[in-house]
Amino acid sequence: MLDAISNFFQRALAEPEQRDNQTLTLELATAALLCEVMRADYDKSDAERAALKQMLINRYHLSESDVNELMTLAEAEVDDAVDHYQFVSLIKEHYGYEQRCELVALMWQLAWADGSIDPLEEHRIRRLADLLHVSHSDFIRSKLESTPHAE
């Protein structure tokens, strides 16, 4: 079953304009990039997985079972992907600048979910922000805005 879903995902990413519902393809691409941040430090913590699940539920208004399936598929795609081009190009094509900035902010929030930012996570977010053509100033602003403040 996962192979069938994965094959469908590959077709959808290759030809998103032929899909009736391009939003699902964008959801998968977004989830794949967020999974890439989650695995950057080689430690997929429960806190990060829970944060990613909540982000996807809130952002796309999906059921928990749909999000679980989306996360499984996205993680499989990230594991199989040679690079981020297929995900990044789809997002750049369909997301405006503000939406791409929001995605970078979600990446920072996800990285902070386990209580700290690993240098590998920061490097991955910086690289993805560059690929998404998010300016360095907006990259820094989103990092500062997502940083938990001591009370």
What was the pLDDT predicted at 30? 84
Structural domain tally of the chain?
1
Query: Measured between alpha carbons, how far is 97 from 53 in angstroms, rounded to an integer?
Result: 24
Q: Judge whether 151 lies within some domain.
A: no
What was the pLDDT predicted at 151? 45
What was the pLDDT predicted at 4? 46
Q: Flag residues of the chain having pLDDT under 70.
A: 1-24, 78-83, 149-151
CATH of the domain at 122: 1.10.3680.10
- Structural domain for 99, as ranges: 2-146
Q: Judge whether 140 lies within some domain.
A: yes
Q: What is the largest CA-CA distance in the chain?
A: 50
The 10s digit of each residue's pLDDT in 59-72 is: 877 788 888 887 88
What was the pLDDT predicted at 140? 94
Q: Judge whether 72 lies within some domain.
A: yes
What was the pLDDT predicted at 68? 83
Q: Judge whether 56 lies within some domain.
A: yes
Q: Judge whether 17 lies within some domain.
A: yes
Q: What's the pTM?
A: 0.74
What was the pLDDT predicted at 86? 78
